[in-house]
Structure 1
Amino acid sequence: MGGVRGASGPAGRAVTRVVDSDPLGGTVRRTVLPSGLRVLTEAIPTMRSVSFGIWVAVGSRDETGPQAGVSHFLEHLLFKGTRKRSALDISAAIEAVGGETNAFTTKEYTCYYARVLDQDLPLAIDVMCDLVADSVLAAADVETERGVILEEIAMHDDEPGDEVHDLLAKAVYGDHPLGRLISGTEETISPMSRRQIQSFYRRRYTAPSIVIAAAGNLEHTEVVKLVRQALHGSVLDGEPAAPAPLRPADTRVRTSRPGSVVEHKETEQAHVVLGCPGIGRLDDRRFALGVLNNVLGGGMSSRLFQEIRERRGLAYSVYSYSSQYADTGLFAVYAGCAPGKVDEVLELVRTELAQVAAHGVTDAELARGKGMAKGSYVLNLEDTGSRMSRLAKGELLFGDLLPVDELLARVDAVSADEVNALAADLLARPMSLAVVGPFGPDDFPAAAG
């Protein structure tokens, strides 16, 4: 797919090509509009629905300190009205045909999407393109949504099982934007002005930075035509331009010295996360990481689940996970347990990580980890929404769409040596610790690694 990145055709004409023909889905086509905006579709005639998404290559890591939370604030505001539609018009139009619409913000991109019956796709395209391209950001709406977001931040603070993961990101990445809350904080959201949000909107929501993806019972040429009609005359229908390149690696990403971050709360259960910097999403070892993660804490048969929950009954929830960004990543283990069992649980986690780092995984674990990875990939493609997301992420984050069969082959090709080498590197790294529960900072005074 990356082979035509930047091409918009002679005399500003759109360029279309077939990207993939997937036996598990349908034909994938990609069109680059003269403006640099990209449209990808997967035609699945056996479906009666279509998922349509607009993906913007901007997220919370693109914000300065005083802007923290502006991407998420903007995500809320785009649903509040355009020159053609009020907030009620937007929601009522989609709900009147039984559809659904929503959005989410991450650290590196923002997505606006709708899922409708195939016959209602023209409506969904018109509504979603309108709200992304032509939101008015009325001053009254800014104040209304400011209150909503502050309540959302407060609600998040009341969910210690969620908060602890944000604390770990802060412990690992410190003052870098990857260490900040996607939502921002009360200190950044309260003074944020409409002018700041409007400026961010117009600077960052540009055609070359946008990918439109759709999957379901559709015709590619019709989708492209409808998108062009919906965006005609808008700020996203500008001068000819090339699609934006992949997000470059940020050489300024620095991790903090491993240590402990404790948030005191009188909870009945302690929430702990032990983690370290991981690998970026373009690292060839990402397939080995998926297998390793499954072995360690990816399911009920994993080492951590078996040792901590099944054999000892010390925690209801225990798992490992990884996050990948353009230039770095995060690997972590979470456990929720009684406050009096935290020390024992942490010791068992460290012991398991050290064991795998030193001795690797068994052949049976390798086979099971691969099977879990392959099954997860395929089962996650069983609906139009996940298919649509696959198209957009392939284009926006990787610059290519890996066919499903090739993806499964890459997992199959992972060797024990690759997994063990990664384990020896990753799991031996100094770990940071985040804790939410009835503790003080002196209860975890030393570095956790």
Structure 2
Amino acid sequence: MSPARGVWPVLFVIFLLSACGVTRSAPPTEVARAPIRHVLSNGARVIVQDFRSSDTAAVQLWVRAGGRDEAASELGLAHYLEHMLFKGTTTRPKGFVDRDVESLGGRMNAGTSLDFTFYHAVLPSQRVLATIEMLADIGVNSILDETELELEKKVVLEEMRLSEDTPGRHLSRQLWGVVFDRHPYGRPVLGTADIIQKLTRDTLLAFYRRHYVPESFALVVVGPVNAAEVLRTAERTLGRLPRSGLERLPGSTVGSLVPKRLEVQRPEALAYLGVGWLGPKLDHADTPAVDLLVSILGQSRSSRLPQSLRERLALVNSVSSDYAALEAGGIVTVTAQLEPANLARTEAEILAEIQRIRENGVTEAELRRAVTRAEAEHAFSSETAEGRARRLGQAETVWRLSEELAYLDRLRSVTADQVRLAARRYLDPERYGRLAFVPQAR
């Protein structure tokens, strides 16, 4: 899966964001101990991994609050709040990130997905304890200044505009709405311009107070650190927050796919095609098989769709497949950039390739390549403290740490027949969502 998907953070997501895996043998100069998990008395969770690849460490605060937690009148608030938490707290004036992180050679940012929000910093390991204090502070003490809130509206509205002006990205986001239909996963993480323009401090503060509570927090620290010191600092910061009693509602069940065919005219010379199906959620037994199926379909130049549609038939400029495994559901998509005249044939060829897998399965060589690709992605993401922290944080927030650590072995155990069965179960060539962007008529 891609980073934005869920098992291999990341994204976002997309998530949309993204990555997953087991601890691998490290070079002699790079020692990684097993992660330590501790739950504070108020429900906040702490994960620490001593990882000595360099003198830098990753410190992240994950929050069980994302786009799916918003009411219909709150669309975009999880993302907007993420922006506002960098604008000052009751004890830290605006500019604290520049002063306390970037001036010391570190960097800090944040991301919002449908299932979670996370705040991440990479900096010298000597600053880990101070950074834990800072993340705990912004987690509950941000002032949400009214003037800053109004100024930030311009930033978020521009972010919406830029997203819409990028046709490939906008197609993918809109395709989610086609496939998930009325489910919260089909709604835009950025929200709507109307809601953002009318947003008040009281509304945002209520969302903040409701969701940013210790039971929603997971602190992740990876690097050359002393675990005991990290846990003590977590206890005296996050651990002092009173338990709220919040129990996050489980994600609503994703219903059956309602086939749709939509076409949108846009001021581009090229066409963009997207087809999609509902897939298994993150903790489903079929997730590894679908992960490999999507890799075989279109996640590398040697995959079936790029070889067929681009190299042999020359129908598309680019084509790729993606699988996003979320906490309450999943989505499989195929997207392509192409000449408008090739739309119908490209769609037919995509469906024909899927039908071939449903009928004949995949080869052992294809399966081995897909597993090797997953192993390589995992190894690459494991090279840094930040990559490891993201995998651990996402697993703790929307999955289970034990499942994250075992996922690569689960991929290795998938058989070619399981991949074929996954194609038959999830990719119906007669029931899917379809969205195309086409040039405006002249």
TM-score, normalising length: structure 2 = 0.89
Separation in structure 2 between the aligned mates of residue 434 and residue 144 of structure 1, nearest angstrom: 35
> Cα distance, 1:261 vs. partner?
2.4
Matches for 1:374-389 after TM superposition, within 5 Å:
374-389=375-390
1:63-116 CA-partner distances (Å, limit 9, x unpaired): 111110010010011111101112212332111111000000000100011000
Q: Does 1:421 align with 2:428?
A: no
Separation in structure 1 between the aligned mates of residue 323 and residue 129 of structure 2, nearest angstrom: 38
Separation in structure 2 between the aligned mates of residue 321 and residue 99 of structure 1, nearest angstrom: 32
- The AA in structure 1 aligned to 2:75 is A
- The AA in structure 2 aligned to 1:250 is S
Q: Does 1:55 align with 2:59?
A: no
Separation in structure 2 between the aligned mates of residue 349 and residue 139 of structure 1, nearest angstrom: 50
Separation in structure 2 between the aligned mates of residue 240 and residue 202 of structure 1, nearest angstrom: 10
Q: Does 1:80 align with 2:87?
A: yes
Matches for 1:199-348 after TM superposition, within 5 Å:
199-231=206-238, 237-239=241-243, 248-251=250-253, 253-255=254-256, 257-348=258-349
- The AA in structure 2 aligned to 1:94 is V
Aligned counterpart, 1:362: 363
Separation in structure 1 between the aligned mates of residue 53 and residue 332 of structure 2, nearest angstrom: 39
CA contact (8 A) 1:165 1:434 kept: no
- The AA in structure 2 aligned to 1:59 is G
Q: Give the one of 203, 207, 211 matched to 1:196.
A: 203
CA contact (8 A) 1:81 1:90 kept: no
Q: Mark the CA change 1:178 to 1:386 in structure 2 (over 3 Å): closer, same or farther.
A: same
Aligned counterpart, 1:16: none
Aligned counterpart, 1:444: none
Separation in structure 2 between the aligned mates of residue 302 and residue 136 of structure 1, nearest angstrom: 50
1:363-402 CA-partner distances (Å, limit 9, x unpaired): 2212222222222222221111110012112222222334
Segments of 5+ residues of structure 2 without an aligned counterpart are 1-21, 27-31
- The AA in structure 1 aligned to 2:130 is L
Structure 1 range deviating more: 116-125 or 413-422: 116-125
Q: Give the one of 76, 96, 102 matched to 1:95.
A: 102
> Cα distance, 1:284 vs. partner?
1.0
Aligned length: 414
Q: Does 1:114 align with 2:118?
A: no
Q: Mark the CA change 1:376 to 1:167 in structure 2 (over 3 Å): closer, same or farther.
A: same
Give the SS at the match of 1:392: helix
- The AA in structure 1 aligned to 2:409 is A
Segments of 5+ residues of structure 1 without an aligned counterpart are 1-19, 441-449
Q: Mark the CA change 1:132 to 1:101 in structure 2 (over 3 Å): closer, same or farther.
A: same
Cα root mean square deviation, aligned: 2.0
Aligned counterpart, 2:4: none
Moved over 6 A (4+): none
Separation in structure 2 between the aligned mates of residue 177 and residue 402 of structure 1, nearest angstrom: 25
Separation in structure 2 between the aligned mates of residue 256 and residue 331 of structure 1, nearest angstrom: 12
- The AA in structure 2 aligned to 1:201 is Y
Structure 1 range deviating more: 74-83 or 118-127: 118-127
> Cα distance, 1:264 vs. partner?
1.5
- The AA in structure 1 aligned to 2:235 is R
CA contact (8 A) 1:293 1:320 kept: yes
TM-score, normalising length: structure 1 = 0.87
> Cα distance, 1:439 vs. partner?
5.3
Give the SS at the match of 1:218: coil
1:212-258 CA-partner distances (Å, limit 9, x unpaired): 1011111111112223334476xxx11497x967x63523x335521
- The AA in structure 2 aligned to 1:426 is Y
Separation in structure 2 between the aligned mates of residue 220 and residue 270 of structure 1, nearest angstrom: 53
- The AA in structure 1 aligned to 2:250 is P
Q: Mark the CA change 1:396 to 1:120 in structure 2 (over 3 Å): closer, same or farther.
A: same
1:106-158 CA-partner distances (Å, limit 9, x unpaired): 00100011000111212322222221221001111110111211111111111
Separation in structure 1 between the aligned mates of residue 114 and residue 440 of structure 2, nearest angstrom: 29
- The AA in structure 2 aligned to 1:306 is Q
Q: Mark the CA change 1:146 to 1:240 in structure 2 (over 3 Å): closer, same or farther.
A: closer
Aligned counterpart, 2:5: none
- The AA in structure 1 aligned to 2:242 is G
Give the SS at the match of 1:274: strand
- The AA in structure 1 aligned to 2:100 is A
Separation in structure 2 between the aligned mates of residue 355 and residue 290 of structure 1, nearest angstrom: 18
Separation in structure 2 between the aligned mates of residue 201 and residue 87 of structure 1, nearest angstrom: 18
- The AA in structure 1 aligned to 2:315 is L
CA contact (8 A) 2:277 2:333 kept: yes
Give the SS at the match of 2:367: helix
CA contact (8 A) 2:44 2:214 kept: yes
Percent identity, please.
28
Separation in structure 2 between the aligned mates of residue 282 and residue 81 of structure 1, nearest angstrom: 37
